[in-house]
Amino acid sequence: MNKNTNNLDNLSEKTDFVIRFAGEGGQGLVTSADALARAATSAGYYTQTFSTFPSQIMGGPASSQVRISTSPVLSSGDGVDVLVALNKFSYDNHYQDLVDGGVTIYNAEEYSLPDGGQYFGIKADELAKSTGNARAANMVTIGAVASLINFSLEEVDNFIRKRFTRGRDGDEEIIKANISAVRLGVEVANLSGFSVGELAPASKSDGDQIMVTGNIALSLGATAAGLNYYVGYPISPATTILVWMENNLVGENKFAYQVSSEIEAISAIVGAGYSGKKAMTATAGPGISLMSEGLGLAWMSEIPVVVVDVQRGGPATGLPTKSEQSDLFTCLHPAHGDVKMPILAPGTVEECFYAGALAVNWAERYQGPVIIMSEMALSDRGENIPKPDLASIKNETRNVYEGKNGFKRYQTWDGSGDLTPMPIPGGAGAYVANGSEHDEIGDTTHLPKHHIRLTERRFNKLKLLGEAHYEIENENADIIISPWGSSKGPAREAYERLRRNNRNVGWVYTVALHPMPDVVLDALKTAKRVIVPELNYQGQWSTLLRQDGVNAESITKYDGTPFRPGELVESIKVKLK
């Protein structure tokens, strides 16, 4: 097997290809990868796109890739089958990621490479101009790629027709130009004589598919559970949630709005949650740091809110456009005092949808803050997922107090029976939602008996939560692989490869990190040895698991990029020795 390949065996027909476009930000790299992904999805393949770019709009090294597969795509893969390198710098930086037999298409308008390598040049702009549509350069390249992977041109044409049929004069002309651009690209590639194999036919999946990023999936999920209030402050990689909400959370009783800081965001959703709204904000690490006092207020005064942390890298301003899983300690205990936040950490784009919905329901049910931990590796990658069935999404409504005035909102509660209902302004049961320790009606008090009973009440409420998607397989194996968040994808691929090679490995995975489903914690506790692949230096999740009595250790990575399945296979093999 090739050291880097994404394909299972040396079949003549390939099941999996990675195509990467590398160049400068602003060169339409994302558009090219997205176009190819959409064409392949329409043809019935599974696709996943992934981009890296510096924190600038134009210029600077950037790349965008698409992985096309006959089965659901779990990660961005190992090697690259086709590299489109738009400048010399990006060729130099990416060619070493090519699999054996991989091919580079270089931008012959910018530079040339010495004869004899696994590459050929293309003058996409010049060829596009010859079709009469200078903007079709992307399509020249896509034609060349399609030829290299023997992808059906009919499907590319269908895609072009779909995209450019916009009910305007001139649609037909644009479609024609784009189709001839594709043919010109095909011709150049055919002349080069290269091919990287033939993509096996797609096994069309049943039911509708949607093509979304993690952030869009999360937004859709939250609104499916009845979210009706959103405020946020722009920050990568969470901004696209704010933008989505501003565009789509519109209508009666709905509100989406850009506030002037993360402190305003958390305070406003506390005010909204208190008044009966299903309220959410999303941010990244720097914003979570600013929200810590407000999150403590939501916990203390028992107000339902959802906060999304789309993690990026590093402390302070850190690495705004890179992926890291390093906010776990912070999200679990963001505030001072005795606090432990419920946390949902989706691992795939599809799980982002369901985590969005579940977080809203959890917040309503236990009357407190819930944190969703997403990541750059999920937020911006596009993926086709089965279209969720809205009828199956629960829309839990808050237990609202409807009795007479003089209600005791903060009664002692041991976790059995129903949690006391919550009065809502405008209705009966006026009380003070208090961030200072308080008595039953919310008046400030320092009496030990109240601090004891309410501290217990706040922790007992967590018993209402815990259910969420989990996976347990071969839990008696020598080594259990147990990733969290987006490391699930590459870890799962690694797990499957190791199993195929008859390695004695098992699998435990949970979206709910706190509280965890009992079966998951039991499986982890009884496991001989648990390996946690995670993108941080300290091994944050394995540290927390050890506190719970799990024999856990981490495989860490902290260069700002996600794991590759191949590198995980190698490190786990070392542990198996």
Partner 1 sequence: MSKRNPEYDFVWCPGCGDFGVRRALEFALAEYTIENEKPHGSNVIVAGIGCSGNMVHLMEGDQPFGIHGIHGRTLPIALGIKSGRDDLNAVIVAGDGDFLSIGAEHIGPAAQRNLDVTCVIMDNGVYGLTKGQSSPTSDIGMVTASTPYGKIEIPMSPLNYYMTVGVSYIASYYSSKPKILAKYIQQAMDHRGFSIVHVQSPCTTYNDTYDLLKGKPRDGIKGLAWEIPDDHDPSNEKSAKELLQKPGIPLGLIYKFEGKTLQDRQQEIRERIGEKTVEANLASYTV
Map the footprint of partner 1 across residues 412-431, applying CB under 8 A.
423, 425-431
Q: Rounded to the nearest whole angstrom, what is the least distance from the CB of residue 267 to partner 1 in the complex? A: 4
Counting contacts by CB under 8 A, is residue 185 touching partner 1? no
Q: What is the contact mask toward partner 1 in residues 40 to 69, using x (rule: CB under 8 A)?
A: -xx---------------------------
**Neighbour-count burial for 288-322, b at 16+ CB within 10 Å, e otherwise:** bebbbebbbbbbbbbbbbbbbbbbbbeeeebbbbb
Q: Which of 1, 134, 400, 447 binds partner 1 (CB under 8 A)?
A: 447
Footprint on residues 334-393 left by partner 1 (CB under 8 A): 384, 387-388, 390
Write out the binding residues for partner 1, residues 548-577 only, by CB under 8 A. Answer: none
Contact 429, 405 (CB under 8 A): yes
Burial of 567 (0-12, 13-18, 19+ CB in 10 A): middle
State the burial class of residue 366 (Cβ atoms within 10 Å of its Cβ: 0-12, 13-18, 19+). Answer: buried
Does 210 bind partner 1 (CB under 8 A)? Our answer is yes
Q: Does 401 bind partner 1 (CB under 8 A)?
A: no
- Cα distances from 424 to residues 69, 419, 421, in angstroms, run 50, 15, 10
Helices marked H in 208-319: 214-224, 239-248, 262-274, 285-290, 292-301
Query: Which of 435, 466, 539, 560 lies at the binding interface for partner 1 (CB under 8 A)?
Result: 435
Of residues 242-281, which lie at the interface with partner 1 (CB under 8 A)? 248-252, 254-255, 257, 259-261, 263-265, 267-277, 279
Which two tokens mark 59? 């210029």
Per CB under 8 A, does 203 bind partner 1?
Answer: no
- Shortest Cβ 168–partner 1 spacing (Å): 19
Q: Are strands 512-514 and 343-344 parallel, antiparallel or unpaired?
A: antiparallel
Q: Which two tokens stand for residue 546?
A: 């050890």
Does position 297 bind partner 1 by CB under 8 A?
yes
CB of 370 to partner 1, least distance (A): 17
Binding part of the chain for partner 1, among 87-95, 288-296, 504-512, 562-570 by CB under 8 A, reads 288-296
Residue 538: exposure state from Cβ atoms within 10 A (0-12, 13-18, ≥19) = middle
Contact status: 439 vs partner 1 (CB under 8 A)? yes
Reduce the secondary structure of 316-358 to three states and give it as a string: CCCECCCCCCCCHHHHHCCCCCCCCCCEECCCCHHHHHHHHHH
Please report how close the Cβ of residue 244 comes to partner 1 at its closest, in angstroms.
Answer: 9
Asked if 441 is part of the footprint of partner 1 (rule: CB under 8 A), the reply reads: yes
Closer to partner 1 by Cβ: residue 37 or 319: 37
Query: 112 vs 275, which CB is nearer to partner 1?
Result: 275
Name which of 62 and 266 has its Cβ closer to partner 1.
266
Answer yes or no whether residue 145 interacts with partner 1 by CB under 8 A: no
- Chain positions 11 to 40 lying near partner 1, rule: CB under 8 A, are 38
Please tell me what DSSP assigns to residue 482: -
